[in-house]
Amino acid sequence: MTIESRLNPSKKRRVLLVDDHPLVRRGLADVIAREPDLEACGEAGDIQEALLAVERTKPDVVVVDLTLKTGTASN
């Protein structure tokens, strides 16, 4: 828990979704949207997109598919 979240407990936690299957990302985003304290702040289909999205969206949490087809950030 960050200092900001302790000071503002009503603030939604921002979640970035990283998966190479758009349908999975959409499903996760729908589940997250039902939670009052969470919001999906972005999506990415591969590691490179994810790295850019982290810089752009500054998420609190990143949910990453462990079996991304594109491999690691060093690809």
d(CA 72, CA 64): 12
Q: Do residues 26 and 44 touch, judged by C-beta distance below 8 A?
A: no
d(CA 53, CA 59): 9
The pLDDT, as a whole number, for residue 49 is 96
The pLDDT, as a whole number, for residue 5 is 53
d(CA 43, CA 5): 22
Q: Do residues 68 and 48 touch, judged by C-beta distance below 8 A?
A: no
pLDDT per residue, tens digit, the chain (75 aa), is 455 556 666 789 999 999 999 999 999 999 999 999 999 999 999 999 999 999 999 999 999 999 987 655 554
Question: b/e string for 9-22 if b means 16 or more Cβ within 10 A?
Answer: eeeebbbbbbbbee
The pLDDT, as a whole number, for residue 75 is 46
